[in-house]
Amino acid sequence: MEDPFILGIDEAGKGPVIGPLVIVGAVFRKSQQKQLLKMGVKDSKLLTPHKREELLPKIEKICQRFKLISVSPQEIDQRFSIGSNLNKLEAAKFAELINELKPDIAIIDCPSANTKGFAAYLSKFLTHECELRCENYADRNHLEVGAASIIAKVNRDAAIKEIEKEVGMPVGIGYPSDPVTLKFVEATLNNKEIISRYVRKTWLTFQNIKNSKEQKKLGDFE
pTM of the model: 0.93
| Nearest partner of 95 among 171, 23, 190, judged by Cα | 23
Are the C-beta atoms of residues 171 and 181 closer than 8 Å to each other?
Answer: yes
What is the spatial distance between Cα 188 and Cα 101, in angstroms, rounded to a whole number?
39
Query: Pairing relation of β-strands 21-29 and 5-12?
Result: antiparallel
Q: Do domains 5-164 and 168-221 have the same CATH topology?
A: no
Mean pLDDT by 10 residues, the chain (222 residues): 94 96 98 97 95 97 97 92 84 97 98 96 97 97 98 97 96 94 94 94 91 66 49
| Nearest partner of 154 among 66, 37, 82, 35, judged by Cα | 66
Domains of the chain by residue range: 5-164, 168-221
What is the spatial distance between Cα 160 and Cα 183, in angstroms, rounded to a whole number?
15
Which fold is adopted by the domain 5-164?
Nucleotidyltransferase; domain 5 (3.30.420)
Give me the sheet containing 131-135, strands edge to edge: 65-71, 21-29, 5-12, 105-109, 131-135
What integer pLDDT is reported at residue 80 of this predicted model? 77
What integer pLDDT is reported at residue 84 of this predicted model? 75
What integer pLDDT is reported at residue 221 of this predicted model? 47
- The CA-atom distances, in angstroms, between 206 and each of 132, 167, 171, 195 are 36, 18, 14, 10
One of 1.10.10, 1.25.40, 2.40.50, 1.10.1740 is the CATH number of 168-221, namely 1.10.10
